[in-house]
Amino acid sequence: MKKDRRDFLKLAGCAAVAGVGSSTAFHSLLRGEAEAAGLRRAGTKKEKTGVRLGMVIDIQKFLDDQDLARRCIRVCHQIHNVPEFGNPKDEIKWLWTDRFEHVFVKDTHYRQAQHLQGMPVLTLCNHCDNPPCVRACPTKATFKKADGIVGMDYHRCIGCRFCMAACPYGARSFNWRDPRGMDEHGRSFIRELNPDYPARTMGVVEKCNFCSKRLAQGKLPACVEEAAGAEAMFFGDLNDPNSEVSRVLREKFTIQRRPSLGTYPSVFYII
Amino acid sequence: MIEKAFQGSKGYWTWIACLLAVIAIGGMFYVQQWNYGLGITGMSRDVSWGLYISQFTFLVGVAAGGLMLVLPYYLHNYKEFGRITILGEFMAIAAVVMCLMFIIADLGQPMRALNVLLHPTPQSMLFWDMVVLNGYLALNLICGWAILHSEYKGVKYSNWVKPFIYLSIPWAISIHTVTAFLYAGLPGRDYWLTAILAPRFLASAFAAGPALLLIIALIIERNTLFRVGQVAKDKLVTIISYAAIINFFFLACEFFSAYYSQYPSKMYTKDYLFFGLEKDGSIFNNLVPYMQASVVIGLIGIAMIFYARSKKSDLLLGISCGLIFLSLWIDKGLGMVLGGFVPNPMGQVTQYYPTIPELGITAAVWATGFLILTILYKVAISVKLEKEL
């Protein structure tokens, strides 16, 4: 008899806890909280807080002006003292073009439009919202800033290259040799040194930083400025509904690189 | 106790001299690397980890493998392992030292290595790997040395050592688990992104570590009066063969999920490693002979080790352990790390070939490990023989 009563009390207790729990869950569902929680990473919540910088690249505009990409890359690499080693093994790149099917990996795509195959697409660091490189770095040499930029501290990097293994976009480069050196013909790897930006040492990782130094001066990223005339690139605060980048994203259909990986890139492409 | 390392036969000193020569040559290559940068290696933008990190990964397994000797003796009071437990602990010391050296050799800025401690980053698996590896080194130094020293003095080891011994058991598993987590937590690297990676690492570790130890024990038996004992050898054979079988079972599981699902990104690397990957009209297969050999050699080794035990043949036993060790070395010390990079997440293929300086530095680190192992084993065996004779 005694045992039965205890069992009954236990059962009642469990039921009460479950009941309380379920009713709260039910209410939060009614209020739409569950949906908001589920989509939080997709940016619905983020829209309300702070600046989140992003970029839109219009691929068609780069097709119309075949030289535009080269000009953007040149200005980017020039102001950031990106060295040219002249071989793919040591190569360092912040902004570069790659074939469409490499940038948007879809081996299983049956009969994709022919003109897309081999089409050069401008690519750079995606400044992910959930960056695997930042998670991997053991020294906080790569970090995510409040405005969404994934930054690099060249002076703290130990050169373990874990971030390179972690980045699914191949956006990170390593200084396999001294970028301030010279090739066998006595030519500097940094063609024209820009004293306003540090040159790197050997043994550190580097990548695009969305021109954070220019942004601090109130300027646009160098590539966006170069492409401004062609209206090929847009840059701004994704969380500000009135920004140009938000307007473009509202009006145009855009895609992102490898969205299934859950990294939430801040670079969007108009096809 | 350490004085035992300075008394040896001509053969002992020749061996030491050979190791020192390899270390010296590798040291010169390291100076070259220091001046030129890691560009001196075969690594590239696409394959950003090479021989150094793959050797590190394999040797973490060898270090963890020492557990298979420590655990039965201390936890299950399996007396037959009493004579070789110390060999397992000392092997772990040598292996972890090699691991740390490979990490340092792989850093672009080795002078900044302490940044990992100055800016501890708990979300980074590399931080935890540093913690567990150094911890494991300390644990084995403490346990190994304290136990051998009490044996030297002819007394039982003190009770304060016991907690360290017990701690070292789960710690051994942690070093290889965390090392697997370095790889298994990265998006876009489909060869590594598998929950079975840590179990796979442990299975290969528990075969490779004891296999190396058994080979060394047989060499010691041939050259000294030290005897491992038939029962201990038989038990080791059981451990090695079952771990190796489980390792191949796990490999088969990986093959099943890739090829039965027909999931492309899961198949590409296995194609590249085991069969050759066709891409844009050319076939990339520079690792295929090694990886196929790894499977064949490993299976032959497993069959042979059972035969060797039934025949009680030490020569066959040594050869079969050598085959198993070689098989696992190819699989983990070569294919495992390179497979994560080829093809790259963009589907492009860059093949990797180590350079002469890279091979020289790698050989030097191995030689350093064997030097440490030789000295530690010399001390341990001298102490043990002195007490017995």
Domain boundaries, chain B: 2-388
Mean residue pLDDT across chain B: 93
Q: Is A139 on the interface with B (CB under 8 A)?
A: yes
Q: CA torsion, points B78, B84, B89, B90, in degrees to nearest 10?
A: 170
Of A250-264, B219-233, B295-309, which range is least confident?
Answer: B219-233
State which fold the A53-270 domain adopts: Alpha-Beta Plaits (3.30.70)
pLDDT exceeds 80 at position B36:
yes
Could you give the ipTM of this predicted complex? 0.91
- Contacting residues of B for A201, CB less than 8 Å apart: 109
Dump pLDDT digits (tens) for B170-185.
999 999 999 999 999 9
How far A49 CA lies from chain B's nearest CA (Å)?
24
Task: State both tokens at B357.
Answer: 């300086």
Using CB atoms, pick whichever of A105, A160, A203 lies closest to residue B37.
A203
Residue A170 to residue B345, Cβ atoms within 8 A: yes
CB-closest option in B37, B49, B109 to A165: B49
Interface size between A and B, measured as CB pairs under 8 A? 145
Write out pLDDT tens, residues B126-174: 999 999 999 999 999 999 889 888 888 888 888 999 999 999 999 999 9
Q: Which helix (H) or strand (E) holds B24?
A: helix B10-36
Scanning the structure block, which residue is given the tokens 């090699």? Answer: B98
Give the nearest partner residue to A105 out of B108, B119, B346, using CB atoms: B346
Mention every residue, 6+ apart, whose C-beta is less than 8 A from residue A232: A57, A58, A61, A62, A65, A68
Option in B48, B109, B348 nearest A165 (CB)? B48
> For residue A15, what are the contacts with CB-CB under 8 A and spacing of at least 6?
none
Q: With an 8 Å Cβ cutoff, are B115 and A137 in contact?
A: no
Alpha helix (H) residue ranges in B224-274: 230-261, 264-270
Set of chain A residues whose Cβ sits within 8 Å of the Cβ of B48:
161, 164-165, 174
SS (H, E, C) B159-186: CCHHHHHHHHHHHHHHHHHHHHHHHHCC
Surface of A (88-107) touching B: CB under 8 A: 88-92, 98, 101-103, 105, 107
A159 and B107 within 8 Å at the Cβ level: the answer is yes
To the nearest whole Å, the CA of A23 is away from the closest chain B CA by 36
A138–B126: do the CB atoms touch at under 8 Å? yes
Beta carbons of B45 and A91 less than 8 Å apart: yes
Question: What chain A residue is nearest to B265 in terms of C-alpha separation?
Answer: A107
Of A196, A227, A231, A230, whose CA–CA distance to A214 is shortest?
A196
| Residue A9: per-residue pLDDT | 54
* Facing B115 at nearest CB: one of A139, A174, A263: A139
CA-to-CA separations, A255 to A65, A99, A126, B385, in angstroms, rounded: 21, 16, 13, 72
CA–CA gap between residue A103 and residue A122 (Å, rounded): 9
Pairwise CA distance, residues B295 & B303, whole Å: 12
* pLDDT tens-place string over residues B230-281: 889 999 999 999 999 999 999 999 999 999 999 988 999 999 999 999 988 8
Tell me how far apart the alpha carbons of residues B305 and A58 are, in angstroms, rounded to a whole number: 63
A131 to chain B: which residues are within 8 Å by CB?
none
Among chain B residues, the shortest Cα distance to A93 is held by B45
Closest Cα in chain B to A154: B109
Q: Which residues pair with A98 in a beta bridge?
A: A121
> What pLDDT is stored for residue A38 in this prediction?
39
Helices B314-330 and B288-311 cross at an angle (nearest 10°) of 160
Cis before A138? omega within 30? no
Are B348 and A164 within 8 A, CB to CB? no
**CATH of segment(s) B2-388:** 1.20.1630.10
In the predicted structure, residue B208 carries a pLDDT above the cut 90 = yes
In angstroms, the CA B115 to CA A138 distance is 8
Q: Structural domain boundaries of chain A?
A: 53-270
Percentage of the residues of chain B whose pLDDT score is greater than 70: 99
Can you give the pLDDT at residue A13? 54
Does the structure show a pLDDT above 90 at B68?
A: no
**Cβ contact, residue pair B45, A201, below 8 Å:** no
B124 vs A contacts (CB less than 8 Å): 135-138, 162
Residue of B nearest to A102 (CA): B346
* Position with higher pLDDT, B48 vs B75: B48
Residue by residue, pLDDT tens for chain A (271 residues) are 455 555 655 555 555 544 444 444 444 444 444 444 434 444 444 445 689 999 999 999 999 998 999 999 999 999 999 999 989 999 999 999 999 999 998 777 788 888 888 899 999 999 999 999 999 999 999 999 999 999 999 999 999 999 999 999 999 999 999 999 998 899 999 999 999 999 999 999 999 999 999 999 999 999 999 999 999 999 999 999 999 999 999 999 999 999 999 999 999 999 9
**In chain A, whose CA is at the least distance from the CA of B193?**
A166
Q: B217 vs A213, B132, B145, B225, B289, CA distance in Å?
A: 62, 27, 19, 11, 31
- Pick from A139, A154, A207 the residue to mutate for testing the B interface (most B CBs within 10 Å): A139
Nearest CA in chain A to B113: A158
Pick among A100, A176, A182 to test the B interface (most B CBs inside 10 A): A176
Interface contact flag, B39 A90, Cβ < 8 Å = yes
Cα angle value A128/A131/A136 (rounded, 5°):
160
pLDDT tens figures, B353-373: 999 999 999 999 999 999 999
Instruction: Answer yes or no: do A202 and B37 touch at CB < 8 A.
Output: yes
